Amino acid sequence: MLNENIRELRKLRHLSQVELAECLHVSKQCVSNWENDNILPSVEMLVKVANFFGVTTDALLGLEDRTTVCVEGLTDTQTEHIKQLIADLREANGAR
């Protein structure tokens, strides 16, 4: 599941394995091995991959289906605007 999630998230970002490797400061072979389920990333790298894609490590591991939004560096007011936007979008889609 982890290998599939890494591949899917990479493709959603329209990144090649080489580009993802450069972003994470690893070799292309590391990314290839993760995606082919040959090796697992270290715990430290798992966190780095999750943060890069804006998902939780649980989501990356297939334990939950949740995407996070990083609001680091934003003011409290800006963060509240983002929360309200998300609530409005959910309401428009019939979700709570």
Domains of the chain: 2-60 (1.10.260.40), 69-96 (no CATH)
The whole-number pLDDT of residue 94 equals 81
User: Which pTM does this prediction carry?
Assistant: 0.68
Those residues with Cβ within 8 angstroms of residue 54's Cβ, 6 or more apart along the chain or in another chain: 67, 68, 69, 70
- Position 33 pLDDT exceeds 80: yes
Confidence of residue 96 (pLDDT cuts 50, 70, 90): low
pLDDT (average), residues 27-56? 96
Left if phi > 0, otherwise alpha if psi is -120 to 50, otherwise beta: which for 75?
beta
**pLDDT value for 70:** 81
